[in-house]
A = this chain, B = another copy of it.
Amino acid sequence: MDDTVIRIGHGSGGRLTRELIHEIFSNRFGNIFLDNLSDSAIIPTSERNLAFTTDSYVIDPIFFPGGDIGKLAVCGTVNDLCVSGAMPKYMSAGFILEEGLPIDHLARIVESMASEAKKAGILIVTGDTKVVKRGQCDKIFINTSGIGYVHPDRVHISNGSSILPGDKIIISGSMGDHAIAILSARENLTLEEEILSDAASLNSLTEEILKVPSEIRFMRDITRGGLGTILAEVCEKKTFGIEINENDILVNRSVKAICELYGFDPLYLANEGKMLIIVQKTAAEKIVNELKKNSLGKNARIIGEITEKHQGRAVMKSIIGGKRIIDMLSGEMLPRIC
């Protein structure tokens, strides 16, 4: 393995991505906002806190069951903002287009962005378009950056600084649908039940649960790197651990089947419309009930808790009773998943 060049795993969202950020970016750009390593920078201003986030989308194929690169580019940015406790307000759209891209494909993608932005209540206020020659990019890449406002009481939500042993861990639905929908489109798989990407803007969900009088400690959308990577990150170098039950993690039947076939672990599959919530123990049931009222959270469930045991580690109790340490994703199972 050549350590001097960029490898596919550097874009996985897992361990290699973390190392690249640490070794190349953080020490050079280093400032308190970036060091936080959360999805959005939370910038305290004299009036109110600004949340600011960016993501590039390079997904292949650009149209897939349940969505397209445009929908994804809006949902991804909306979700990065709303899981930070922010109200998504404004976004940018930067396009890199390959010469020869059919203009009606571009129009469909833009249409899809506009429709998702309207649904999520975010305004696309600024944009940019670049074109490169055939073979210098793959059809279309999109960058979206987003701005939101965060109430001062919610600033801890993006960094998890208030997490305590005893807190419950909730996920809002099944794992892996987005990744497997992309794989099935890419490989032309014929499945018994078609799997649709779960791509969705989660701000309706976060707004509802933030209204519940309770202590939400942390939220994160479960994307690249999957549930496993987030759990490992949350307790890394902390004085608490995590324990989850495999039995409580919903994985749809077709997703499970493909995972077995390809040797994938659903814990590390990307989602684009699912979130993890860590909440004060006493409020957990209330939050799950609230999530279930929304179709995006209808399969929400408690999957485990923050523990005093396993300091700095996430541990999963398997269905047959064993225990396994959950590490960050290393390498990359499915490149260009978002």
A interface, CB within 8 angstroms of B: 3-11, 17, 20-21, 24-25, 28-29, 31, 33-34, 40-41, 43, 46-48, 50, 52-58, 60, 90, 92-104, 106-107, 110-111, 113-114, 117, 123-133, 135-138, 141, 143, 145, 147, 335-336, 338
Given contacts A111-B28, A123-B33, A125-B34, contact A97 B143 (CB under 8 A): no
Q: Which residue of B lies closest to A3 (CB)?
A: B103
Whether the pair B117, A41 counts as a contact (CB closer than 8 A) is: no
**How distant is the Cα of A9 from the Cα of B131 in the complex, in angstroms?**
8
| Smallest beta-carbon distance A47→chain B, Å | 4
Q: Which residues of B contact A141 (CB under 8 A)?
A: 96, 137, 141
Q: Oligomeric state, in number of copies?
A: 2
Can you list 26 contacts pairing A with B, beta carbon distance less than 8 Å? A4-B104, A5-B100, A5-B101, A10-B97, A11-B129, A21-B127, A25-B127, A28-B113, A29-B124, A34-B124, A34-B125, A41-B126, A53-B92, A53-B126, A54-B126, A54-B145, A56-B96, A58-B130, A58-B137, A92-B145, A131-B335, A132-B138, A132-B335, A136-B137, A143-B145, A145-B145
- CA–CA, A40 and B126, complex, Å: 7
In the bound assembly, the distance between CA atoms of A147 and B9 in angstroms comes to 31
CB distance from A17 to the nearest CB of B (A): 6
Question: Distance in Å from the Cβ of A309 to the closest Cβ of chain B?
Answer: 34
